[in-house]
Amino acid sequence: MLGNVAAIETRELRKVYRGRAVVDGLSLTVGEGEVFGFLGPNGAGKSTTVKMLLGLVHPSGGEVRVLGGSPADPAVRARLGFLPEQFRFQTWMTGEEFLRFHGRLAGLTAAELRGRVPEVLATVGLAGRGAEALSGYSKGMLQRAGLAGAILARPRLVFLDEPTSALDPIGRVEVREIIERLRAEGVTVFLNSHLLSEVEQVCDRVAFVKAGRVLRQGSMRELMGGVLPVDVRVDRLSPELLAAFARVGEVRHTDTNTPGRAEVELWLTREDALPTLADAVHAQGARLYALTPRRPDLETLFLELIEDTPEAAPARGLARA
Ligand X SMILES: Nc1ncnc2c1ncn2[C@@H]1O[C@H](COP(=O)(O)OP(=O)(O)OP(=O)(O)O)[C@@H](O)[C@H]1O
Residues that bind ligand X (CB under 6 A): 17, 22, 40, 42-48
CA separation, residue 156 to residues 79, 103, 256, 264, 284 (Å): 5, 15, 54, 48, 60
Using CA atoms, how far apart are residues 71 and 74, in angstroms rounded to an integer? 8
Nearer to ligand X, 27 or 254 (CB): 27
Nearer to ligand X, 29 or 49 (CB): 49
Using CA atoms, how far apart are residues 248 and 266, in angstroms rounded to an integer? 9
Nearer to ligand X, 57 or 173 (CB): 57
Q: How far is the CB of 25 from ligand X (least distance, A)?
A: 14
Q: How far is the CB of 235 from ligand X (least distance, A)?
A: 45
Q: How far is the CB of 183 from ligand X (least distance, A)?
A: 24
Nearer to ligand X, 143 or 284 (CB): 143
CA separation, residue 247 to residues 205, 217, 243, 293, 316 (Å): 33, 30, 6, 17, 15
Q: In what order do the strands lie in the sheet with 288-293?
A: 250-255, 262-268, 228-234, 288-293
Q: How far is the CB of 174 from ligand X (least distance, A)?
A: 23
Using CA atoms, how far apart are residues 10 and 46, in angstroms rounded to an integer? 13
**Beta bridge partner(s), residue 13:** 26
Using CA atoms, how far apart are residues 244 and 230, in angstroms rounded to an integer? 15
Nearer to ligand X, 45 or 296 (CB): 45
Q: In what order do the strands lie in the sheet with 20-31?
A: 20-31, 6-17, 61-66
Strand ranges for the chain from DSSP E: 6-17, 20-31, 35-39, 61-66, 80-83, 157-161, 188-192, 205-210, 213-219, 228-234, 250-255, 262-268, 288-293
Nearer to ligand X, 18 or 247 (CB): 18
Q: How far is the CB of 305 from ligand X (least distance, A)?
A: 15
Q: How far is the CB of 20 from ligand X (least distance, A)?
A: 7
Nearer to ligand X, 45 or 163 (CB): 45
Q: How far is the CB of 13 from ligand X (least distance, A)?
A: 12
Q: What is the Cα 168 distance to its own chain's centre?
A: 19
For residue 190, the one-letter residue type is: F
Nearer to ligand X, 9 or 162 (CB): 162
Taking phi over 0 as left and psi of -120 to 50 as alpha, with beta for the rest, 160 belongs to beta
Q: How far is the CB of 232 from ligand X (least distance, A)?
A: 36
